[in-house]
Amino acid sequence: MALIKKDLDLEKRWGKLLEGLQQLLGKKPSDLNAVLFIIGVQELGSGPKNFSKEEKQDLMHIAVCRVLSQSGFYSLDFIDQDGWPHWKLEKTLPHLDAAQQEKMLKIHVLEYFEEEFEIDIK
């Protein structure tokens, strides 16, 4: 029962985050990948522009590394000459199924927005 309540709380907080991003950006992100893309663009710091498919994948990778760095899984290694951050794996990620991976990422994304932007999504 406690697990179900935690899952419901997570989804409630996730919905609140999506609504906040919609107000900020004028468009509600469709899913976790869209939110990761937004974080990647933020972390790159170049502002909105047209990205290639490969660059979009790279931005999502940057976001995953950035949010998981909060738990010590990654650390920033260096920023290349084009301003792209590169991350180093610090500890092995747990073996999780797809649903567990999504849940873990959502929790870290919520923490990212709470810490970086002081957004209250509790």
User: CA-to-CA distance for 118 and 1, rounded, in angstroms?
Assistant: 30
Per-residue pLDDT of the chain (122 residues; tens, 9 = 90+): 556 777 889 999 999 999 999 988 899 999 999 999 999 999 999 877 899 999 999 999 999 999 999 999 999 999 999 999 999 999 999 999 999 999 999 999 999 999 887 777 77
Question: Residue 3's pLDDT is what?
Answer: 62
User: CA-to-CA distance for 5 and 79, rounded, in angstroms?
Assistant: 41
Residue 121 lies in a domain: no
User: CA-to-CA distance for 114 and 121, rounded, in angstroms?
Assistant: 7
- Longest Cα–Cα distance of the chain, Å, equals 51
Residue 122 lies in a domain: no
Which amino acid does the sequence have at 116?
E
Residue 27 lies in a domain: yes
Number of structural domains the chain divides into: 1
pTM here is 0.90
Residue 89 lies in a domain: yes
Residue 8 lies in a domain: yes
Per-residue tokens: 78 = 């260096």
The phi and psi torsions of 15 (rounded to 5 degrees) equal -60, -40
Decide: 121 and 16 in contact? Cβ < 8 Å. Answer: yes
Q: Which residues pair with 85 in a beta bridge?
A: 79
Q: Give the CA distances from residue 1 to residues 4, 15, 87, 122, in Å, rounded to whole numbers and listed in that order.
A: 5, 21, 38, 20
The domain in which residue 108 lies consists of 2-116
Residue 90 lies in a domain: yes
